[in-house]
Amino acid sequence: MFTGLSAFPLTPLIQDTVDEKAFAALIDRLAAAEVHSIGVLGSTGSYMYLDREERRRTVELAVRQAQGVPVMAGIGALRTRDVLRLADDAQRAGAAAVLLAPVSYQPLTDEEVYALYAQVSRHLSVPLCVYDNPRTTRFAFGDELHARIAELPQVRSVKLPGVPDDAAQARVRVEALRALLPDAMRIGVSGDRLGAAGLLAGCDVWYSVLGGLFPTACLDIVRSAQAGDAEKALRLSAELAPIWALFERHGSVRAAAAIAIRQGWMDASGLPLPLKPAALPEIRHIAPLLDRLG
Amino acid sequence: MFTGLSAFPLTPLIQDTVDEKAFAALIDRLAAAEVHSIGVLGSTGSYMYLDREERRRTVELAVRQAQGVPVMAGIGALRTRDVLRLADDAQRAGAAAVLLAPVSYQPLTDEEVYALYAQVSRHLSVPLCVYDNPRTTRFAFGDELHARIAELPQVRSVKLPGVPDDAAQARVRVEALRALLPDAMRIGVSGDRLGAAGLLAGCDVWYSVLGGLFPTACLDIVRSAQAGDAEKALRLSAELAPIWALFERHGSVRAAAAIAIRQGWMDASGLPLPLKPAALPEIRHIAPLLDRLG
C-alpha cells in the first residue's frame, strides 16, 4: 500500500458543505489512472476544517468510488479523544490505512506526541502512516522520535515534508533515516516539487497533491524514477516548475484549489473559509500547461 | 468591561469530560475576589480542544456562577462556519463579550484574517476582543492589520502577547499602537510575567492566566499599577518569578494545570490529552509560594 504514487485529492466544498459529486469525480479520475493509493483528508483534503460526520462521509464516498484502490484517511485532530473516534469511523468506512499528524494548538512536547501515537496505534487494526508536516502542525520531529514511533504496532510508513534539494544529500538523508527504522517501514516524500528527487533518493512512495489533480502526469514521474531513469523523472518534474512555484507561493491547498476551480472540477467556494484559493489571474499564466495536463 | 484584571480560568476535565463542579468552584473564587471580568475558553481554558456542546455548557456555567462579573468567551475555531456558530452559542449563554484568535492549520494570509474578523464582527451583538497569540495561532499581526480590524463593528479590545521588557520601550510600544487605534479600543497585555509592566506602560487591562488561579494576588498588582505605584506593582510581580519561570518553561496552560492539581482544584487528568500538565516535582519547589497565594 505504501509504494508508488499516493494521490491526495482536495475535498471540494460548495457553499460550505462537501460537494459530494465533485469529490466523487476527483476519486474517479484517480481510480481510472490506477494510482497506487488515494490519501483522502490530508492537508489538501481540508481534514482539520471538516467535522466528524463530514469526514466519515468523505472516507465512505472515497472507498466506494476507488474501484479497489486502497484509501488512506487522515485522522488528525487536536484532542486524542477525537483522533480515536476518527480512527474508528475511518476503519468502519473501509479505509485501508490511516494518516496521523501531531496537530497542535498548544505546541506539543516529544513525550506528548509519542504518547499520542502509542495510544492511537494500540487502538488500530489498519496500518498507520506518520504525517510529519511542521508547516501545519508546528511540530518538528527528530529522527530519534521517528525511530521510537516506528516501533509501535501498526506504524508502517512516514510521510516526510521533503528531502534536501541536492541529490547526493537527499540520498544520504533517506539512507540515514532508513537505518534507524524497522525494515517494514515505508518512507514517503511530499512537497510535490521534491517528489521525483525523493523517489530517486530511495523513498518508497510519493505522497502527492498534484497526483490528486493530474495522476497520469505524476505516474509518469513515478514510473521513470522506479525504472532508474533519473534524467527523465527530473525533466518531467522540471516541466511542472510553474506549478511548484504556485504551490510554494500560496501553499499547496490554495494552489490546488485554484487549479481545480480553473479546470471546472470544483466550485469557486470550494475551500472552507477563512481559506481562499490562490488568485485566478496567476492561474491564467499557466493555462497552456494545465490544458496539456488536464 | 475591558479594564483592570481579566482572569482566565482553566476548564478542568476529569477522565476526558468537563469537571463542572471544579470549574464552578474556580469561577466562584474569581467572583468572590471581584475581578473585573472573567475570560473563559481562552488558551488556558482549552477552547480549541472542546467540542461545541462542551463550550456552550462552559459559558453557561460561567455566567451562572459569575455573580454579575462580565464573562468573555473564546469563540476561535479553524473554520469560519464554526466561529459563527460558537458566537451564537456564547451570546445566547449570556457572554458579555467574545474573544477571537485567528486560529490556523494552514497558515493564514492577512486578507484571510481580515475577512474572518469582518464576517464575524458583522454577525455579533456583543463586543469582540482580538486575540493576538502567535505562539498558538502561528499568525503574526502587523500594526496596520490591527488598525484595520479595530475599525470593524463590535471590535473593542486587543489582547497583546506581551510588551517589551524595558519599561521605556514598553511605553513607546503601547503609545504607538494606541495612536493607530480608535479611541474606544482597550489595549490588553498578556504573558503574565509582563502583566505589571504592561499596565505601567499604559495598557488598560491585564488578561491573566494566574488571575484565574490567584485573583487576589493579581488584583494587588493591578491596583498598585493603577494607583501609579510602579515600584510596588513590579515588586509584587517579581515575587512571583518562580511561577513565571514555570509558565515560560512549560507553557502557561501546563503550568496552570500543575498548580491547580497541586492545590486540589483539578483532577490529575484535568487537561485534554495529548496535553499533559507540568511535572509535579517542579511544583513542589514552589510549594511555599503557592501556600501563601492560595
pLDDT in tens, A21-80: 999 999 999 999 999 999 999 999 999 999 999 999 999 999 999 999 999 999 999 999
Q: How confident is the model at residue A282 (pLDDT cuts 50, 70, 90)?
A: confident
The confidence score (pLDDT) of residue A75 equals 98
Q: Cβ contacts (< 8 Å) between B43 and chain A: which residues?
A: 105-106
Nearest CB to B276 within list A112, A253, A254: A112
Nearest CB to A116 within list B105, B107, B274: B274
The confidence score (pLDDT) of residue B240 equals 98
Q: How confident is the model at residue A280 (pLDDT cuts 50, 70, 90)?
A: confident
Q: How confident is the model at residue B90 (pLDDT cuts 50, 70, 90)?
A: very high
**N- to C-terminal Cα separation, chain A:** 26
For A273, the closest chain B residue by CA position comes to: B80
CA B92 to CA A175: how far, in whole Å? Answer: 57
Q: Cβ contacts (< 8 Å) between A82 and chain B: which residues?
A: 51
For A49, the closest chain B residue by CA position comes to: B79
Position B272 pLDDT exceeds 90:
yes
Q: CA angle B136-B139-B144, nearest 5°?
A: 140
Comparing A210-219, B267-276, B279-288, the range with the smallest average pLDDT is B279-288
Position A241 pLDDT exceeds 80:
yes
Nearest CB to B16 within list A81, A107, A253: A81
The confidence score (pLDDT) of residue B281 equals 84
Which of A213, A173, A169, A171 lies closest to A192, judged by CA?
Answer: A213
How many percent of chain B have pLDDT more than 70?
100
Question: Looking at the annotation, which residues of A are catalytic?
Answer: 131, 159
**CATH number belonging to domain A4-227:** 3.20.20.70
Comparing A120-134, B231-245, B277-291, the range with the smallest average pLDDT is B277-291
Mean pLDDT of the residues in chain A: 97
The confidence score (pLDDT) of residue B135 equals 95
Look at A272 and B113 and tell me if their CB atoms are within 8 Å.
no
Cβ within 8 Å of B, A 227-256: 251, 253-254
Q: How confident is the model at residue B115 (pLDDT cuts 50, 70, 90)?
A: very high
Q: Any idea how long chain A is?
A: 294
Contact A80, A117 (CB under 8 A): no
Position B59 pLDDT exceeds 80:
yes
Position A1 pLDDT exceeds 90:
no
Q: Is the dihedral of CA B47, B52, B54, B57 positive or negative?
A: positive
Q: How confident is the model at residue B279 (pLDDT cuts 50, 70, 90)?
A: confident
Task: Give the side-chain half-sphere CA count within 13 A for A160.
Answer: 27
Binding-site residues from annotation of B: 44
Position A216 pLDDT exceeds 90:
yes
B118, with CB counted inside 10 A (0-12, 13-18, 19+), is: middle
Which of A262, A263, A294, A267 lies closest to A280, judged by CA?
Answer: A262
Q: Cβ contacts (< 8 Å) between A253 and chain B: which residues?
A: 106
Q: Cβ contacts (< 8 Å) between A105 and chain B: which residues?
A: 43, 48-49, 103, 136
Query: Residues B195-246: pLDDT tens digits?
Result: 999 999 999 999 999 999 999 999 999 999 999 999 999 999 999 999 999 9
The confidence score (pLDDT) of residue B203 equals 98
**B146-168 mean pLDDT:** 97
Contact B35, B212 (CB under 8 A): no
Contact A231, A268 (CB under 8 A): no
Position A122 pLDDT exceeds 90:
yes
A179 CB within 8 Å of a chain B CB: no
The confidence score (pLDDT) of residue B282 equals 85
| DSSP single-letter state for residue A187 | E
Query: Residues A163-194: pLDDT tens digits?
Result: 999 999 999 999 999 999 999 999 999 999 99
Kindly provide the b/e burial profile for residues B263-286, where b requires at least 16 CB atoms within 10 angstroms of the residue's own CB.
Answer: eebbeebbbbbbbbbbeeeebeeb
Q: Indicate if ipTM > 0.95.
A: yes
Best probe of the A interface among B52, B105, B108, by most A CBs < 10 A, is B105
Mean pLDDT of the residues in chain B: 97
State whether CATH 3.30.559.10 applies to domain B4-228: no
Position B280 pLDDT exceeds 80:
no
Can you count the helices (H) and strands (E) in chain A? 14, 10
The confidence score (pLDDT) of residue A76 equals 98
Element (H, E) at B84: helix B80-92
Kindly provide the b/e burial profile for residues B155-180, where b requires at least 16 CB atoms within 10 angstroms of the residue's own CB.
Answer: bbbbbbbbbbeeeeebbebbeebbee
Q: How confident is the model at residue A294 (pLDDT cuts 50, 70, 90)?
A: confident
A273 CB within 8 Å of a chain B CB: yes
A107 CB within 8 Å of a chain B CB: yes
Look at B272 and A138 and tell me if their CB atoms are within 8 Å.
no
CA A248 to CA B29: how far, in whole Å? Answer: 50
Position A199 pLDDT exceeds 80:
yes
A86 CB within 8 Å of a chain B CB: no
If one counts every other C-beta atom within 10 angstroms of the C-beta of residue A53, the result is 10
**A9-15 mean pLDDT:** 97
